[in-house]
Amino acid sequence: MASPARLSSRVDAGLLAGCVLLSFIAIVIPKEDREPIAAALRQTIVAPLVSLQRGAERWRSAWAASDRQQMVVDSLAMRAVKANALVVENDQLRKLLGLGTRLEWGFIPAEALHSTAPGEGLITTLTLTAGSRAGVQKYSPVVAGEGLVGMVQTADPSMSIAILYTHPSFAASGMTADGATTGIIYPHLGGSGDPYSMEFRGVAMRYNLTPGTVIYTSGVGHTYPRGVVVGTIVQEMKTAEVWTRTYLVRPAVPPSRINSVAILTPQRVTQGTGNVWGATLNTDSATRRIAAAGDSIAKQAALLQEKARQAALDSMKRATIDSVRRSLGAAVIPAADSAAIAAAQRGAQPAPGAAGIPGQTTPVRRDSSRVRRDSLRPDTLRRPRP
């Protein structure tokens, strides 16, 4: 009994021999007889093969169309990503240009290259395309249009390395807009929350900062100039400190969006940055001036209202006294004398033009000739003698 493999090889050999024989027959057959035979074979034996070929061609066309469509989609997606990146980069460049316009001098523009791709790990350093040949020095502050970025750690001739506020060696003195509350800014290492957050430590217990309060550099230590925006208060952190508070701070400059920066020169740090990031300072001072002006106007209005009320009361009092005197037939005191009397009673000087010596009241004299007869007693009247 033959094995299955040997049987299969024999079948293949027989099919091959049959195909060769048919090919010779097709060659020998005249041309006028070939076409009917070929048509009959296409409709019977070769029909499944033809349908398979047509299906394969359709699938190939569909695959090519899908590939072209996918390429179009990928191209559009790449264009959208590039457009978004260009928008972000243009926004950063506009902010840097605005910062350069406000600074006017004492800064070195540079492009920031990330040493770690966003999402792969915590970004702690940046490579800057400006070095000591451009005037960059070690410990020079690095800023952006939104605020503080970090500090130059090493300066090579053509490039430099800067540490961010996420670096363990970062520290900066901070303050609120009015300068009343001060503390130290440190990176938020470990714990829950955003790893790119910062901590505002060493705040006195008597100061309770609300969320949204802007924190600036205070200029203490002469590393960072005064008035650079650091971030905003998020919430108070629970610590073991008894005499100080610690707050969580959201940075003003997200590291993933840092593309263009400005490096401040030592002369600029020494002379300060002025009011470049001081919009909040201006707002606070303007608010205080407006509040003071409002208080002054309110006090003046209250004083005028009190004077008007006192004048009305004095007028009503004088009218009542005059009415009573008229009803009794007494002499009516002039308004100037009445004002002088009222002023003397209050311990003040009489009004200008009042009769008498200043500080004294004029005694009221009654006209004895104008005495009402009905006010005399009947028994005092004498009858004439007959």
**235-284 pLDDT per residue, tens:** 998 888 888 999 999 999 888 778 888 999 988 888 888 778 764 444 44
Q: Which is more confidently placed, 77 or 228?
A: 228
Please give the average per-residue pLDDT across 118-125, as a whole number: 74
Cβ contact 164:185 at 8 Å: no
pLDDT reported for residue 304: 79
pLDDT reported for residue 286: 46
- pLDDT > 50? residue 295: yes
Please give the average per-residue pLDDT across 301-325, as a whole number: 77
What are the pLDDT digits (tens) for 47-67? 787 788 888 888 888 888 888
Please give the average per-residue pLDDT across 98-103, as a whole number: 75
Please give the average per-residue pLDDT across 161-184, as a whole number: 92
Q: Which of 299, 286, 202, 278 lies closest to 245 in space, CA to CA?
A: 202
pLDDT reported for residue 118: 54
Cβ contact 356:362 at 8 Å: yes
What are the pLDDT digits (tens) for 125-156? 999 999 999 999 999 999 988 899 999 999 99
- pLDDT > 80? residue 123: yes
pLDDT reported for residue 342: 56
Distance CA 35, CA 19 (A): 18
Please give the average per-residue pLDDT across 294-303, as a whole number: 70
pLDDT-derived band at 161 (thresholds 50, 70, 90) equals very high
Lowest mean pLDDT among 80-94, 212-226, 290-304, 358-372: 358-372
Q: Which of 190, 135, 131 lies closest to 162 in space, CA to CA?
A: 131
Question: Is the full-model pTM beyond 0.85?
Answer: no
Distance CA 167, CA 125 (A): 7
pLDDT reported for residue 160: 94
Domains (ranges, CATH) in the chain?
A: 103-277 (2.40.10.340), 286-368 (no CATH)
Distance CA 163, CA 153 (A): 6
What value does the mean pLDDT of the chain take?
76
